Amino acid sequence: MYSSRRRFLSLGATLAGSFCLAEVALADTPQKLLETDPTAESLGYKDDGSKVDHAKFPKYAPPQACGNCALFQGKTGDASGPCPIYGGKIVQAKGWCNAYVKKG
């Protein structure tokens, strides 16, 4: 009886620890920026810069893209990376928004 109770408590502690680790892992995983995010919509963000609404955002001109924006925090050549404008959410290197600043 004592042994099975101990095993039960041990199993419970292990499961609780696993859930905590999973929560920490999820919390630390940056989220992809959605085009429907209110800030993304207001700044005209698109995963594919060629789909930017040129009438609303005349500033856009190829080859402007997140991948060559000064704010892009991915490495050169990365397909995506965090952007501080959106709290570190992941933007696509081919993406674009109206906060674009040419990398110097």
Q: Of the two residues 45 and 78, which places its CB atom closer to ligand SF4 in the complex?
A: 45
Least separation in angstroms between residue 65's CB and ligand SF4 is: 7
Least separation in angstroms between residue 38's CB and ligand SF4 is: 14
Cα–Cα dist 100/45, whole Å: 10
Cα–Cα dist 23/53, whole Å: 38
Strand partners, 82: 90
Residues that bind ligand SF4 (CB under 6 A): 45, 66, 69, 71-72, 83, 85, 91, 95-97, 99-100
Supply 11's token pair.
């199993």
Least separation in angstroms between residue 58's CB and ligand SF4 is: 15
Q: Of the two residues 10 and 50, which places its CB atom closer to ligand SF4 in the complex?
A: 50
Q: Answer for the pair 66, 94: CB distance below 8 angstroms, yes or no.
A: yes
